[in-house]
A and B are shown apart, each in its own frame.
Chain A
Amino acid sequence: MRKRFGMGASIVVLALFVALSITTFGCGTKVQKPKDFYKIGAVLSTSGPAAPLGQPEQRSLALLEEKINSEGGIDGVKVKFIIEDDESDPAKATVAINKLIKQENVVAVIGSSTTGATLAMVPVTSKEMVTLICCAAGTKITDPVNEWVFRTPPTDSMAIAKVISYLEDVLEVSKIAILHDANAFGTGGADELQAKAPDHDIEVVAREQYGSTDTDMTAQLTKIQQTPAQAVVVWGTNPGPASIAKNMQQLGMTIPYIGSHGIANKKFIELGGSAADGVAFPAGKLLFPSSIATGSDWRNAVDEFSAAYKEKYEMDIDTFAAHGWDAGLIITDALKRSGNDPIKLRDEIEKTKDFVAVDGIYTYSPTDHDGLNVDDLLMIKIANGAWTEVK
């Protein structure tokens, strides 16, 4: 008897559920409480596989917060960056951004570090009408342009353009092999290269992949050896490309090795040792300040940031630190003009023009949410364990 009663009552409750889900609910308007400080959210991959990206970004934001507030804030109002960790997981990123927007009521969001986590947050920003400035390089994020999404790093296609002109003008090769990490970064770069190469009469004769955690890439390299490839382009982040450099040395392969901006760090030289010599890769000019005219605003911005970062963290800046810093700078600059209004803020960010930051000089427009251009990059070649600029 009791069982039947239970069933009946349960069904009634369920019916109520359905009824409630049909009536529109929630979705209330955002309350604009007066604030004693501007709250800017950030979702960064400070743990998980993408932690080497997220951690410097986090450090930059902490540094920027300190700097702005010690200089009196934005028109007297202090700034607070609320940083959430997405553990390099897209699902966690959406949880984090929802929390930042609905619970913390942030005026804009920075992040995330990886393309996957960023793409996962894009639907939320559009729905909640809050600007997102990402630190990830995947082409898909801003192509096509999403009203609410901007980025600071140079895109994959800028880096690929740099690599192609190096292949074409410096190496003068017409047949290349691609060996890329099977993850989003590697695949994105490889796709872009494969699509653009034919326009420059470069033929991709082999395309191979490896897993981020693989130990040995000799099998893929022997396959490339059997093709007429005159150079191999490796798209991935440490430690894979270092393993590949060592494997090439082991196999006695001597064709030029061109890497991605993912190896634009001293770690690659440390891991690859002598095998790293001769490797060329694209990088932001900020990593090689002497390539920027002395006395220019940009050079000063890089030197200033680099010195402040080193003083606080006893570390050299890297490209990710710059992405985070620039994202913070762009938002705080636009906040001066917009005040604590997310929608006005978006419009002001889009109006950012010739804004000198660390990664380069940003100009956004309704059709361009990337800001930078190819000239903000350069090609670096490793010689005797040190970087040299490729002119």
Chain B
Amino acid sequence: MARRKGIVETHSYRTFLIVAAFIFILPIWARPIPGEALHMDIVNLMVLTGIYACAVLGLNLLLGYAGQISLGHAAFFGIGAYTTAILCTRFTWFPTWLGVILGASLAGAIGWLVGKPVLRLKGNYLAMATLGLGEIAFILFSQLKGLTGGTVGMLNIPPLSIFGLKFDTDIKFYYLVWAIVLVIMLLTINLVLSRVGRGLRALHSSEVAADAMGVNTGSYRVKVFVWSAVLAGLGGALFAHFQLYINPESFTFALSILFVTMVVVGGMGDIWGGLVGVVALTFLPSIIQVFPEWIPGIPESLTNFSNYALVLYGLLLIIFMIFLPKGLSYGMERGVAAGRRSAKLLLDRIRAHD
């Protein structure tokens, strides 16, 4: 149990409030101004970020705290999306909010069904099994044409509405999604700081020790897996009601890998890591796109081939990991700590002068 208790962890709630306040004012500060130099629709991107965050926060628990890898979470994301899309397009009277809840629940139920046997496996074998599940789900999405619309996908998904209130603009959806993400954050913080969280961490560091402590490792593992499936399903269901169109291409192996990458880049096993990772990797491609405009005199031959963005993305991923192997949030934490130290030093000096 020798584990660092970082600044972020001890100040979880305070950080939570700062983050919440930031998210709250962001759209007011960053409303789309036509023709403005910042070539991004921040609110729109933030909605996508929030949707992915649902899935990534769950995966962070699974990966960072329970130490289980999953390369198939796109499947749960897809199950959530397809469940609500099918219900709400088949039956136009079907309440969309109920579709979202059912989508998340079904993802959880399937997570439980497959999790029970599959979680007996460990490490790479679990990775392989979950990868297989992801591929099977993708094939089913494409092949069950009568149900899912096949490769063409599902059109005309109604926007989310809760008791007559329609979430049909980006800004409304923004507040909804981020309210959900923050609730998940609160639950996660509470979970991690509770006895269960300690059990989870024990599970990660040593299973034998966890067993000895009386932690039921098997049931913990399944519970965390199911919870992460529910969250991924929730994200997927929100995705369907935000995009208003889905097809199997949105739920491929690449998405599963992206989720895992977000967790690791952000900071595995750090409460804020998942969130940092999602924000970083969702915004990175857009930032790379506008990058050349910020650097005057960059030769056009370097940037006018469309693929340069992916070259840079791959390189940045490698560089991030080499210099911040524990993730961005750990780096930020150290940055904050260093900032604090120097601020204190400065203050002391000023005081000494007095």
Q: Are B165 and A6 in contact (CB under 8 A)?
A: no
Q: Are A27 and B306 in contact (CB under 8 A)?
A: no
Q: Mark B284-295, 1 if CB is under 8 A from A, else 0.
A: 011001000000
- With both beta carbons as reference points, the residue of chain B lying nearest to A39 in the complex is identified as B35
Beta-carbon contacts under 8 Å, A371-385 to B: none
Q: Does A183 have its Cβ within 8 Å of any Cβ on chain B?
A: yes
Q: Are B306 and A94 in contact (CB under 8 A)?
A: no
Q: How far is the CB of B277 from chain A (nearest CB, A)?
A: 18
Contacts of B97 in A (CB 8 A): none
Q: Mark A170-197, 1 if CB is under 8 A from B, else 0.
A: 0000000000001110111000000000
* Interface size band for A: 35 or more
Q: Are A21 and B182 in contact (CB under 8 A)?
A: no
Q: Does B214 have its Cβ within 8 Å of any Cβ on chain A?
A: no
Knowing A2-B13, A31-B34, A115-B152, say if A90 contacts B243 (CB, 8 Å). yes
* Interface size band for B: 35 or more
Q: Mark B35-77, 1 if CB is under 8 A from A, else 0.
A: 1101111011100100000000000000000000000000000
Beta-carbon contacts under 8 Å, B7-50 to A: 12-14, 16-17, 20-21, 24, 27, 31-36, 38-41, 43-45, 48
Q: Mark B130-162, 1 if CB is under 8 A from A, else 0.
A: 000000000000110100001111010000000
Q: Are A187 and B150 in contact (CB under 8 A)?
A: yes
Q: Are A27 and B16 in contact (CB under 8 A)?
A: no
Beta-carbon contacts under 8 Å, B183-199 to A: 183, 186
Interface stretch among B118-126, B171-179, B336-344, B345-353?
B171-179
Knowing A21-B175, A47-B307, A187-B152, say if A99 contacts B39 (CB, 8 Å). yes
CA distance A87 to B308 in the complex (A): 12
CA distance A33 to B35 in the complex (A): 9
CA distance A165 to B45 in the complex (A): 48
Q: Mark A92-111, 1 if CB is under 8 A from B, else 0.
A: 10110011001111000000
Q: Are A25 and B169 in contact (CB under 8 A)?
A: yes
Contacts of A46 in B (CB 8 A): 306-307
Contacts of A182 in B (CB 8 A): 142-143, 151
Q: Are A102 and B306 in contact (CB under 8 A)?
A: no
Q: How far is the CB of A134 from chain B (nearest CB, A)?
A: 14
Identify which of B13, B45, B176 contacts A21 (C-beta below 8 A). B176
Q: Does A336 have its Cβ within 8 Å of any Cβ on chain B?
A: no
Q: Does A390 have its Cβ within 8 Å of any Cβ on chain B?
A: no
CA distance A115 to B152 in the complex (A): 8
Q: Mark A181-217, 1 if CB is under 8 A from B, else 0.
A: 0111011100000000000000000000000000000
Contacts of B186 in A (CB 8 A): 7, 10, 14
Q: How far is the CB of A142 from chain B (nearest CB, A)?
A: 12
CA distance A292 to B95 in the complex (A): 55
CA distance A102 to B175 in the complex (A): 19
Q: How far is the CB of B266 from chain A (nearest CB, A)?
A: 20
Q: Are A58 and B151 in contact (CB under 8 A)?
A: no
Contacts of A103 in B (CB 8 A): 32-36, 38-41
- With both beta carbons as reference points, the residue of chain A lying nearest to B166 in the complex is identified as A24
Q: How far is the CB of A33 from chain B (nearest CB, A)?
A: 6
Q: Does B279 have its Cβ within 8 Å of any Cβ on chain A?
A: no
Q: Are B179 and A21 in contact (CB under 8 A)?
A: yes
Q: Mark B244-262, 1 if CB is under 8 A from A, else 0.
A: 1111011000000000000
Knowing A90-B247, A95-B45, A102-B44, say if A9 contacts B17 (CB, 8 Å). yes
Interface stretch among A117-125, A235-243, A249-257?
A117-125
Q: Are B152 and A98 in contact (CB under 8 A)?
A: no
Contacts of B285 in A (CB 8 A): 92
Identify which of B41, B155, B183 contacts A98 (C-beta below 8 A). B41
Q: Does A89 have its Cβ within 8 Å of any Cβ on chain B?
A: yes
Q: Which of A33, A103, A138 has the most chain B CB atoms inside 10 A of its CB?
A: A103
Q: How far is the CB of A186 from chain B (nearest CB, A)?
A: 8
Q: Are A30 and B13 in contact (CB under 8 A)?
A: no
Q: Does B309 have its Cβ within 8 Å of any Cβ on chain A?
A: yes
Knowing A21-B175, A21-B176, say if A94 contacts B182 (CB, 8 Å). no
Q: Are A16 and B24 in contact (CB under 8 A)?
A: yes
Q: Mark B82-112, 1 if CB is under 8 A from A, else 0.
A: 0000000000000000000000000000000
CA distance A127 to B159 in the complex (A): 11
CA distance A5 to B13 in the complex (A): 9
Contacts of B20 in A (CB 8 A): 10, 13-14, 17
Q: Are A10 and B165 in contact (CB under 8 A)?
A: no
Q: Does B170 have its Cβ within 8 Å of any Cβ on chain A?
A: yes
Q: Does B113 have its Cβ within 8 Å of any Cβ on chain A?
A: no
Identify which of B17, B153, B306 contacts A55 (C-beta below 8 A). B306
Q: Are B24 and A17 in contact (CB under 8 A)?
A: yes
- With both beta carbons as reference points, the residue of chain A lying nearest to B307 in the complex is identified as A47
Q: Are B175 and A17 in contact (CB under 8 A)?
A: yes
Contacts of B24 in A (CB 8 A): 13, 16-17, 20
Q: How far is the CB of B57 from chain A (nearest CB, A)?
A: 16
Q: Does A154 have its Cβ within 8 Å of any Cβ on chain B?
A: no
Q: Does B208 have its Cβ within 8 Å of any Cβ on chain A?
A: no
Identify which of A10, A26, A92, A122 contacts B245 (C-beta below 8 A). A122
CA distance A187 to B170 in the complex (A): 33
Contacts of A315 in B (CB 8 A): none
Contacts of A120 in B (CB 8 A): 243, 245, 247
Contacts A26-B169, A103-B32 known; 18 new A-B pairs at CB < 8 A: A21-B175, A21-B179, A25-B171, A33-B35, A46-B307, A58-B306, A87-B310, A89-B249, A90-B249, A103-B41, A104-B39, A116-B153, A116-B249, A119-B245, A123-B244, A140-B152, A182-B142, A187-B150
A–B complex contacts, Cβ < 8 Å, 5 sampled: A6-B12, A25-B169, A26-B31, A91-B48, A184-B152
Using a CB–CB cutoff of 8 Å, the interface residues on chain A facing chain B are: 2-3, 5-7, 9-10, 13-14, 16-18, 20-22, 24-27, 30-31, 33, 46-47, 51, 54-55, 58, 84-85, 87-92, 94-95, 98-99, 102-105, 115-116, 119-120, 122-123, 127, 138, 140, 182-184, 186-188
Using a CB–CB cutoff of 8 Å, the interface residues on chain B facing chain A are: 12-14, 16-17, 20-21, 24, 27, 31-36, 38-41, 43-45, 48, 142-143, 145, 150-153, 155, 165, 167-172, 175-176, 178-179, 182-183, 186, 239, 243-247, 249-250, 285-286, 289, 306-307, 309-310
* Minimum-distance CB pairs A-B, first 4: A6-B13, A21-B175, A26-B171, A46-B306
